């Protein structure tokens, strides 16, 4: 049930009440400070009609807030010309208008699932009705623009900013490429988009009465169950869980939907690893439980080894119902690592794997702009450990051979003193015993790992068998005399230097993303092709903006501290503002300052941004962010302790202006 009259959206409203349906709802109290003097929708329609044929700059007049009856439409920033990034818009839909059942918003997990569903619903309506189609193909002087777009969701349920749950309403964020002919306004078409198409998309895609209620509820409860299962396996000391009946293969390399061929083999657990876990809504779920330690996935070529690992690596995310991998889950601090020939490495202590290099080059702070396969994989592992990885996922096919193994014959020919690389096989046991980090590896050509494995699972025609006992017997019969390291080694903590992040290009700041593999940051292009757990472009946008935000917060805190330390006599206003700023930002080392090293260490990031640049958001939108709200709450709480009413009266206009 997706799209149409099924799961995500309904048919066009046809009641006598028009497209709005029902009584008008008042904008939530929370937003009254941000929105005042809303212009009626009819005025927007009149304005668009009146500027038809005018220069494109006339569109600037529609920036503002408009009352659409039961919800509010906001134009935050109008594009400068038809070829510029599209206009940024929002819709505020009060809860009593959307009519989403209260129980589906009762927990953070459910709220996230609701916002995800609303994004999908709005997207499917916009796409299904063709509202996302632009005027194109008629040359410079022909019509262009006219498309309405929202962030496109994939198979994963992520924390999105495309639909945000605020205190009393949902905020839906999207873009509109305002139509033009040449550089002249197409006012009548803009009126159709904003005054006809948009209301239809809102009511069909965001109002509960338009949904298939059963599909909506199933979506929310399924996500809640998956989130619960992910936390439950950690509590039980497990690393991963794969539900019986899961469909692991995907439709194709470029299509993440489940394979639907008749010959697809549902997953079935080996009896020795089968467990049952009760989840809140679906009840008992049976599947394969993988314990902590070292797990090998073996088998012949094309029998499903990498397919299983690929399903596990995205087990950090919940999936939409029907994906086939809904209850294939893994410890949320799991990281897929691989070799990345040519990657840049900055000041990483790779001594656990790489000793002193030729000509006395040290590796306690290894730096290179062109890493080899072995040094890149060593750096990837160490960086992951720096930020708290608890499980490493490794595929032999994407690893450096000399990093993974060094057999007995090679050890005899090239003695240990001449080889700076300590292969992973000599460290994987200590990695678990010393640091508590488990490893799941796909191995197809190196039986030496049998010596260090806690369990060995064979994929045979996409069916799993537990062959741990056989593998251990083989290891005993054909001992290789591995030179295991006594200890893993030291993990050196690093922190990013904010002044090294420069997003400027000329006199402007340029930050963007191209797919899941590239971030454009100023004059640099950051290659994320080796970060396989990124699944949507929105994540790469979020990472880019997080770096900017990290730098912005850092510089703001430094400036505030400088003011406090150098000014001997501050006015009440200055002191309160700066103190509140410091108090608000003091909450962020556990969130923002963690997110940025996650990018720097090239691990997965599960917090997702959506369309739009952080620094291009309007002040009113920024005011609703947790940063500014925390700052204002702290500032107001401090004001209550001050007796200087004159200073208080001076400060109040400043707050309104900031809003």
| 116 and 155 share one domain | yes
Do 120 and 67 share a domain, yes or no?
A: yes
Q: Are residues 482 and 506 in the same domain?
A: no
The pLDDT, as a whole number, for residue 415 is 84
Between 315 and 136, residue with greater pLDDT = 315
Whether residue 67 contacts residue 38, with contact meaning beta carbons closer than 8 Å, is answered with: yes
- Distance of alpha carbon 192 from alpha carbon 82, whole angstroms: 18
Last residue of a domain, one of 470, 494, 518: 494
pLDDT confidence of residue 627? 41
pLDDT for res 604: 30
Of 99, 48, 45, 43, residue with least CA distance to 70:
99
- The per-residue pLDDT of the chain, averaged, comes to 82
Confidence band (pLDDT; 50, 70, 90) for 36?
A: very low
- The pLDDT score that the predictor gives to residue 629 is 43
Helices 537-566, 572-585: inter-axial angle, 10-degree rounding: 140
Question: Per the domain annotation, does 273 fall within a domain?
Answer: no
- What pLDDT sits at residue 494? 86
- Pairing of β 238-243 and β 283-291: antiparallel
- Is the same domain home to 508 and 474? no
- pLDDT per position as a tens digit, 410-431: 888 988 888 999 999 999 999 9
Residue 484 pLDDT: 60
Both 48 and 181 in a single domain? yes
Is 339 part of any domain? yes
Considering the domain architecture, whether residues 155 and 185 belong to the same structural domain is answered as: yes
527/464 same-domain check: no
Q: Are residues 522 and 453 in the same domain?
A: no
Q: Do β-strands 169-176 and 274-279 pair in parallel, antiparallel, or remain unpaired?
A: unpaired
Q: Which residues of 457-481 are buried (b: 16+ CB within 10 A; e: fewer)?
A: bbbeebebebbbeebbeebeeeebe
Pair (552, 431) in one structural domain: no
Task: Say if residue 579's pLDDT is above 60.
Answer: no
Q: Is 271 within the bounds of a domain?
A: no
**Domain end call among 473, 494, 515:** 494
Instruction: Please give the pLDDT value at position 550.
Output: 78
Name the percent of the chain lying above pLDDT 70.
77
Q: Which residue has the higher pLDDT, 506 or 191?
A: 191
DSSP 363-392: -TTEEESS--HHHHHHHHHHHHHHTT--EE
- Is residue 248 domain-resident? no
* pLDDT at residue 620 greater than cutoff 90: no
- Give residue 171's pLDDT: 97
Give residue 617's pLDDT. Answer: 32
Domain hosting residue 79, numbered range: 29-211
CA nearest 545: which of 610, 613, 607, 593? 613
Greater pLDDT, 370 or 485? 370
- Which pLDDT does position 628 carry in this prediction? 42
Domain contains 647 = yes
Does 527 lie in the same domain as 472? no
Is the overall model pTM greater than 0.85, yes or no? no
Look up the CATH number of the domain holding residue 472.
3.40.50
Q: Could you tell me if residue 249 is inside a domain?
A: no
Residue 153, in any domain of the structure: yes
Same domain, 121 and 139: yes
Residue 349: its H or E element: none
Residues 482 and 507 occupy one common structural domain: no
Domain contains 61: yes
Q: Check: CB of residue 521 under 8 Å from CB of residue 545.
A: no
State pLDDT tens for residues 236-247: 999 999 999 999
Please state the domain count of the chain.
3
Q: Where a domain ends, among 211, 246, 278?
A: 211
Q: How do strand 72-77 and strand 64-67 relate by DSSP bridges?
A: antiparallel
């Amino acid at each position: 049930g997706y799209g149409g009259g099924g799961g995500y959206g309904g048919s066009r409203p046809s009641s006598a009440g028009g497209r709005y349906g029902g009584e008008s709802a008042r904008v939530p109290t929370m937003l009254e400070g941000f929105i005042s003097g809303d212009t009626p929708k009819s005025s927007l329609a009149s304005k668009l009609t009146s500027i038809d044929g005018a220069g494109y700059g006339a569109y600037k007049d529609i920036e503002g807030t408009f009352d659409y009856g039961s919800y509010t439409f906001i134009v935050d920033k109008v594009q400068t010309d038809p070829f510029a990034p599209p206009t940024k818009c929002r819709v505020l839909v009060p809860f009593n208008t959307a009519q989403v059942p209260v129980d589906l918003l009762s927990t953070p997990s459910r709220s996230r699932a609701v916002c995800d569903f609303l994004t999908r619903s709005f997207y499917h309506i916009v796409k299904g009705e063709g509202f996302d189609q632009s005027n194109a193909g008629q040359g410079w002087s022909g019509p262009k623009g006219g498309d309405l777009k929202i962030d496109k969701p994939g198979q994963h349920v992520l924390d999105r900013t495309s639909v945000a749950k605020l205190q009393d309403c949902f905020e839906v964020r999207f873009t509109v490429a305002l139509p033009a002919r040449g550089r002249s306004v197409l006012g009548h078409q803009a009126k159709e988009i904003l005054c006809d198409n948009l209301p239809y998309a809102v009511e069909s895609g965001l109002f509960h009465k338009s949904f298939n209620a059963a599909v909506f509820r199933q979506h929310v409860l399924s996500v809640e169950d998956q989130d619960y299962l992910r936390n439950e396996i950690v509590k039980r000391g497990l690393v991963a869980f794969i539900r019986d009946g899961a469909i692991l293969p995907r439709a194709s390399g470029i299509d993440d939907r489940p394979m639907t061929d008749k010959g697809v083999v549902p997953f079935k657990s080996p009896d020795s690893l089968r467990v049952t876990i009760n989840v809140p809504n679906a009840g008992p779920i049976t599947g394969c439980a993988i314990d902590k330690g070292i797990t090998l996935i073996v088998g012949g070529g094309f029998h499903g080894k990498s397919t299983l690992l690929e399903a596990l690596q995205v087990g950090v995310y919940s999936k939409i119902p029907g994906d086939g991998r809904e209850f294939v889950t893994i410890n949320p601090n799991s990281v897929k690592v691989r070799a990345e020939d040519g990657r840049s490495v900055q000041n990483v202590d790779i001594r656990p794997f790489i000793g002193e290099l030729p000509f006395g080059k040290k590796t306690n702070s290894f730096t290179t702009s062109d890493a080899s396969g072995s040094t890149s994989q060593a750096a990837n592992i160490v960086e992951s450990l720096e930020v708290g990885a608890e499980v490493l996922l490794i595929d032999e096919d994407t690893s450096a051979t000399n990093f993974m193994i060094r057999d007995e014959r090679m050890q005899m020919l090239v003695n240990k003193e001449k080889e700076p690389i300590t292969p992973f096989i000599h460290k994987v046991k200590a990695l678990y015993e010393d640091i508590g980090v488990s490893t799941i590896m796909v191995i197809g050509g190196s039986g030496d790992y049998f010596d260090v494995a806690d369990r060995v699972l064979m994929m045979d025609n996409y069916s799993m068998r537990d062959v741990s006992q056989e593998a251990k017997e083989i290891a005993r019969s054909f001992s290789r005399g591995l030179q295991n390291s006594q200890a893993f080694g030291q993990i050196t903590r690093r922190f990013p230097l904010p002044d090294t992040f420069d997003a400027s290009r000329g006199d402007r700041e340029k930050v963007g993303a191209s797919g899941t593999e590239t971030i454009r940051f100023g004059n640099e292009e950051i290659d994320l092709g080796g970060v396989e757990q990124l699944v949507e472009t929105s994540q790469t946008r979020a990472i880019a903006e997080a770096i900017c935000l990290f730098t912005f917060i850092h510089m703001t805190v430094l400036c505030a501290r400088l003011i406090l330390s150098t000014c001997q006599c501050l006015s009440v206003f200055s002191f309160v503002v700066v103190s509140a700023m410091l108090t608000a930002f003091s909450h962020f080392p556990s969130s923002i300052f963690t997110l940025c090293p996650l990018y720097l260490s090239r691990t997965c990031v599960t917090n997702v941004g959506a369309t739009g640049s952080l620094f291009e958001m309007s002040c009113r939108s920024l005011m609703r962010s947790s940063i500014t709200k925390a700052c204002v709450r702290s500032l107001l709480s401090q004001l209550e302790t001050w007796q200087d009413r004159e200073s208080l009266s001076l400060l109040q206009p400043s707050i309104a202006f900031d809003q």
